A = this chain, B = another copy of it.
């Protein structure tokens, strides 16, 4: 089933405001297996609106419009559609009574122009508007379903959830698919994509999508049968046992704070090129103070020596951006704060090289006392991208160290 969405309102064609209702509508329609193939924004212009309706109706199984159902002269959606389809409109006294009641209950005078909202197109169903005044419209024309919804998000959602979705499901006997989201870190999207090609997702009636950002890679499996999906999800996780970190819509910092809280462990950080970004990311989460003790932002060598005990000769011999410096930073901050885990990050965020080292070169060390590691990374992209990837990699290395079984114990 193919759908189009038409957002109506001149304010949506300016430089400030945009139609966001269509994201909500798309999500709900996709879950029913209905694909959105086109979105249009038009102003309160009868000729342009009629053209948008007629061409959408000629192309698609479902046309949903938002906006233009209210009482003012700009609200022309119902009239334009009726005229375009050659249908008449009549006053619905039940709706008019409810409107008048509503105005009375709110203590506002019933304006004559509000009567407009009580006109319905012949042979259509009005859609009740729970939180608002103007009803919506549901009609069929030559095999295409046309739904007129208000532009106010609350009212639009109410009509979708209390009327439209159920009607569509029944009318087209649609089944509702299930999704499982799997989150991965420390692995490129392309490698996941490649390694998963051997699985015959579509042959098993599943859809497979990858959503990647600099903070995580998500694999989303969608299908009809939850058990089959779970089986497939287990196979996908099994391909990348180290990189998989969580199901659902979760970021690394959420998982880590939970893990530390559960284990009663604490964390401190020493940041050079990220300049506080890792601390900021951890403290974005409410309740982080239970496990995150704090950190040092050591943007200059002197501070690295003074607060973290990085020896001057190590800085001189290897440079501030080096593996031994990252290691001493992690050790130093862990000792200074008396935390269970310490992280040290030093690198060149760019855009320019530094100390003859290229932008994007970053060393990250994680220290848990008995266990520690340092890793070298080469991140691509702008200063901001290098910094985001550094924070993500630090969180990911910490996750692996937390979940790794301790040697000799």
Contacts and interface: CB of A to CB of B under 8 A. Distances in A.
A384 B284 contact: yes
A39 interface: yes
Interface string A260-274: 000000000101011
Given A13-B37, A23-B16, A26-B15, A297 B279 contact: yes
A contacts with B: majority SS: mixed
B303 A337 contact: yes
A280 interface: yes
B40 A40 contact: yes
Interface in A41-73: 41-43, 45, 48, 51-52, 55, 59
A390 to B, nearest CB: 12
A15 B30 contact: yes
A293 interface: yes
A36 interface: yes
A179 B195 CA distance: 53
B279 A307 contact: no
B297 A294 contact: yes
| Size bin of chain A's contact surface | 35 or more
Interface of A: 12-16, 18, 20, 22-24, 26-27, 30, 35-43, 45, 48, 51-52, 55, 59, 211, 269, 271, 273-284, 286, 288-289, 292-300, 302-303, 306-307, 336-337, 349-352, 383-384, 387
For the complex of A and B, the 4 pairs showing the least CB-CB separation, nearest first, are: A276-B279, A275-B283, A276-B276, A15-B27
